[in-house]
Amino acid sequence: MLSKTCEYGIRATIFIALQSMLGMRTSLKYIAEEIDSPEAFTAKILQKLVRVKIIESSKGMNGGFNMSMDRIKSTTLSEIVYAIDGLDISNRCVLGLSQCSSINPCSVHHKFKPVREDLIALLTKTTVEEMAIGIKEKLAILR
């Protein structure tokens, strides 16, 4: 469904947002511990998220990653997924046809379309803020 890269990326973003909401910058090391991910690999993913400006980083002592309140409120799951895994999740034919189209549909296209639309709605409507609050309120976990 999602690549591991993407899974780590989402969990890391949620944790960074949570810390940012408490006014704190977070180090890679702490992030990797808290989301139970390989540190060096997570570093690569965070670099990517910095480049697309979903999160911010600062080097040096007391450096680390953070997210602006604006970004926390406006960033949706879909942006993270698209940045890391691309558009396949919204576009790709379930049966692997080179194009997914209602005009030349595969054998499950018509049944699958609404399910996929629900999935896309989930991604585009779920904000990082919402997820971070879920963690804060202990309604969800990150590891």
Partner DNA sequence: TTATATTCGGACTCATATGTCCTATTTTTC
Partner DNA sequence: GAAAAATAGGACATATGAGTCCGAATATAA
With CB under 7 A as the contact rule, the residue among 24, 47, 73, 91 that binds DNA is 47
24 binds, among ligand FES, DNA, its own copies, none (CB under 5 to 8 A by kind): none
With CB under 6 A as the contact rule, the residue among 89, 94, 119, 133 that binds ligand FES is 94
Reading the block at residue 85, the tokens are: 């895994």
- Binding letters toward its own copies, positions 13-52, x by CB under 8 A: -x--------------------------------------
Stretch binding DNA (CB under 7 A), from 23-31, 70-78, 101-109, 134-142: 23-31
SS3 of 53, please? coil
- Binding letters toward ligand FES, positions 102-121, x by CB under 6 A: ---xx--x--x---------
Closest by alpha carbon to 10, among 31, 25, 40?
31
Neighbours of 14 (CB within 10 A): 26
**What does the alpha-carbon distance between residue 20 and residue 16 come to, in Å, rounded to a whole number?**
6
Using CB under 7 A as the binding rule, whether residue 62 contacts DNA is answered as yes
Phi-psi category of 36—alpha, beta or left, where left has phi over 0 and alpha has psi -120 to 50? left
